[in-house]
């Protein structure tokens, strides 16, 4: 199966490209800058997804069975400051890729986010989106384009992604905690935002399971535990034998952020469990795996 993955220089994109390549998919990796994937056997194409003609030309030339649109302007603060650029990167790119997918009759998998929802989590696939910030709005707009496309499609929504890091890959939350504690730095971490953090390996496995079935469903690929960033940081400290006292609990109010984030977000994963047999790791297991610590 030929899979065209966008955003392969990012955190999820690098992991997903390598995972699917190792699982014998024929991967075309697409991103904007120089290739950052350490495994250079994977065919890589530099593409600015906001350039319609280039998008159509590359998709037609590659002729994939599936397009996984994972690239995004993924930082809520940047989207807030640059709403036009956010729309271009998150919505217009989706429109161009959908147009291209129609030319080659490709299935379309869109990587969305829990930020399409507001308060009242954890949310199921049937919950009504009501984004609280512009990033969430842009991803919701893109989801609607995908649903209206007439293509075979899936929307997948992860939450607060973490996992192993290598050279050329940006750190995730767990590396930020580990690196600061190792350097004896005090960190302030919020106690009153609840999430279902997602191990990147679980999303990769979920997408692999999804590629094996024919269904036009939306799936939540998240962890099964509801945790605050403070609780996550304590687990990172404990499994790495680092000083938990350096982690200072703060409330969201004490730690003002540029964009509004839901206090109780997080996603329910029953659909993925029941239909695909998706089985995420516990947070502690996945943190150990990420740092190469024996279970
Ligand atoms: N991180 C999370 O916790 C989280 C949670 C829920 C959902 N998600 C979703 O999961 C997906 C992946 O997130 P991530 O955190 O792995 O993202 P990321 O690290 O920010 O990487 C996104 C990549 O997309 C590429 N990109 C962006 N705009 C592009 C354009 N116009 N043309 C070509 N490439 C472009 C960038 O490539 P270059 O580096 O080459 O410029 C970047 O490396 C996103 O769709 C995000 O919305 C993420």
- Nearest CA residue ID for atom 7, ligand 1: 113
pLDDT attached to residue 210: 97
To test the ligand 1 pocket, which listed residue (16, 19, 31, 146) has its Cβ within 8 A of the most ligand atoms? Answer: 31
pLDDT of amino acid 275: 96
Residue 257: per-residue pLDDT: 84
Mean model confidence pLDDT for the chain: 96
The set of residues, in sequence order, having a beta carbon less than 8 Å from that of 40 and lying 6+ positions away, is none
- CA nearest neighbour of 138 among 108, 165, 116: 116
Separation of 246 CA from ligand 1 center, angstroms?
31
On whether the CB atoms of residues 80 and 65 are closer than 8 A, the answer is no
Determine what percent of the chain is predicted with pLDDT higher than 70.
100
CB 216 within 8 A of CB 153: yes
pLDDT at 256: 79
Q: Which residues sit with their C-beta closer than 6 Å to ligand 1? A: 7, 9-13, 31-33, 47-50, 70-74, 89, 93, 111, 113, 139, 158-161, 170
**pTM: predicted TM-score of the whole model, two decimal places:** 0.97
**pLDDT below 70 — which residues of the chain?**
none
pLDDT tens digits, 54-74: 999 999 999 999 999 999 999
Cβ distance 31 to 46 under 8 Å?
A: yes
Q: How far is CA 56 from CA 99, 111, 274, in A?
A: 8, 20, 36
Nearest protein Cα to ligand 1, atom 22: 10
Choose the residue to mutate in 7, 134, 155 for probing ligand 1, maximizing ligand atoms within 8 Å of C-beta: 7
Q: 2-161+197-220 has which fold?
A: Rossmann fold (3.40.50)
From the CA of 34, give the closest atom in ligand 1: 40
**pLDDT per residue as tens digits for the range 88-137:** 999 999 999 999 999 999 999 999 999 999 999 999 999 999 999 999 99
Per-residue pLDDT tens digits for 181-192: 999 999 999 999
């Amino acid at each position: 199966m030929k899979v065209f993955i966008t955003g392969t220089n990012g955190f999820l994109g690098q992991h997903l490209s390598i995972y699917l390549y190792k699982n014998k998919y024929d991967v075309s990796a697409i991103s904007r800058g120089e290739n950052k994937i350490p495994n250079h056997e994977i065919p890589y194409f530099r593409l600015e997804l906001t350039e319609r003609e280039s998008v159509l030309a590359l998709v037609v030339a590659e002729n994939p069975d599936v397009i996984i649109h994972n690239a995004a302007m993924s930082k809520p603060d940047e989207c807030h400051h640059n709403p036009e650029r956010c729309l271009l990167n998150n919505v217009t790119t989706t429109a161009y890729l959908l147009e291209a997918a129609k030319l080659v009759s490709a299935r379309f998998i869109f990587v969305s986010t829990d930020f399409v929802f507001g308060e009242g989590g954890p949310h199921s696939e049937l919950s009504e989106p009501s984004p609280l910030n512009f990033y969430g709005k842009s991803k919701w707009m893109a989801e609607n384009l995908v649903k209206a496309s007439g293509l075979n499609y899936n929307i997948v929504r992860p939450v607060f992604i973490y996992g192993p890091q290598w050279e050329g890959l940006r750190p995730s939350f767990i590396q930020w905690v580990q690196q600061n504690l190792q350097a004896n730095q005090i960190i302030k971490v919020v106690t009153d935002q609840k999430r279902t953090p997602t191990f990147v390996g679980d999303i990769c496995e979920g997408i692999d399971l999804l590629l094996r079935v024919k269904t036009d469903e939306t799936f939540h690929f998240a962890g099964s535990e509801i945790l605050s960033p403070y609780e996550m940081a304590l687990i990172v400290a404990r499994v790495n034998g680092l000083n938990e006292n350096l982690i200072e609990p703060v409330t969201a109010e004490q730690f003002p952020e540029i964009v509004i984030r839901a206090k109780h977000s997080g996603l329910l994963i029953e659909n993925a469990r029941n239909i695909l047999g998706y089985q995420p790791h516990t947070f502690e297991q996945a943190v150990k795996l990420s740092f190469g610590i024996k279970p």
